[in-house]
Amino acid sequence: MLLLAAAFVVGFVLLLYMVSPLISPKPLKLPGAHVVVTGGSSGIGKCIAIECYKQGAFITLIARDENKLLQTKKEIEKYSINDKQVVLCISVDVSKDYEQVENVLKQAQEKLGPVDLLVNCAGTSVTGKFEAIEVNSFERLMAVNYLGSVYPSRAVISTMKERRMGRIVFVSSQAGQLGLFGYTAYSPTKFALRGLAEALQMEVKPYNIYVTVAYPPDTDTPGFAEESKTKPLETKLISETSSVCQAEQVARVIVKDAIQGNFNSSVGSDGYMLSILTSGMSPVTSITEGLQQVVCMGIFRIIGLFYLGSFDSIVRRCMMQREKSESTDKTE
């Protein structure tokens, strides 16, 4: 009886692997494709642009700093694989004026053709205790991290629907899967991208358009270095429980998942576990992906509870040390 049950399970899994490619989206071909990257002058955005350019894509870089854009353009052009490739630079703030964003993307499409892949990578971060963060920082982060992804996506979606093809990537964060100490201004903006992506994917899937949400871990970028300067002690200690990834590694994973049309994009074992734990009602692009979520959810939840307990312990320990230090200062 046990052998029969085991044979049934093995047969079922093999059937899933056979059927899975039939329901997966057709991979996007990057050679000759027009890829737009916001926040493309540095960090993960720049590395994504380089990765796509290496595979023969035409690139439109969008960022605020024109000097950085021109420097990045020169760096990207070193990876050209043919003399027809072009890197177009556009200096604009994607979070302020939708009409301006729409106009510059229209100009980009007139020069390089319709957008095949849009990567929303523009973002910023502020860390600190909830009551210590300026109120206008909450507004600014929501504008940059959320509306800065809404506006470019809104500007290209109609053309993608007309062509019945396209990819849109929202670069979130592991802080968009798990709320952590010090990220009360940042995390909500990244969680918001998940909700936008799920709703948008349901709308555009019939048009052969696929949405990817990327959840990179702490990544060695200029933005991360700047963020680290103001992190509370608790946030630093929690961050030390995981390693810092290289931007090039993260970019390769994001580009691969976007090409394949995967909804979730994560890096490393921690990223994989978080993606399973937070999958909820998110769409899947293969039956095997759904099966992995069903099978692994329970054990990963147990592991996740140990992580949460460890984080709570760090926060309590820091609070007790701070109170002890304050008490000592008063007695002196």
Contacts of 168 (CB under 8 A, 6+ apart): 117, 118, 120, 153, 156, 157, 160, 200, 209, 210, 211, 212
Q: Is 313 a catalytic residue?
A: no
Q: Which one of 24, 95, 172, 173 is the catalytic residue? A: 172
Q: Which one of 53, 186, 210, 215 is the catalytic residue? A: 186
Alpha carbon distance 46, 72 (integer Å): 7
Q: Which one of 190, 210, 239, 275 is the catalytic residue? A: 190
Residue with the two structure tokens 């849009």? 118
**Angle at the Cα of 302 from the Cα atoms of 299 and 306, rounded to 5 degrees:** 140
Q: Is 111 a catalytic residue?
A: no
Residue 220 forms beta bridges with which residues? 246
Distances (CA, A) of 303 to 119, 187, 266, 269, 270: 32, 22, 18, 12, 10
Distances (CA, A) of 235 to 142, 187, 231, 310, 317: 21, 13, 6, 13, 13
Q: Is 229 a catalytic residue?
A: no
* Catalytic residue IDs: 172, 186, 190
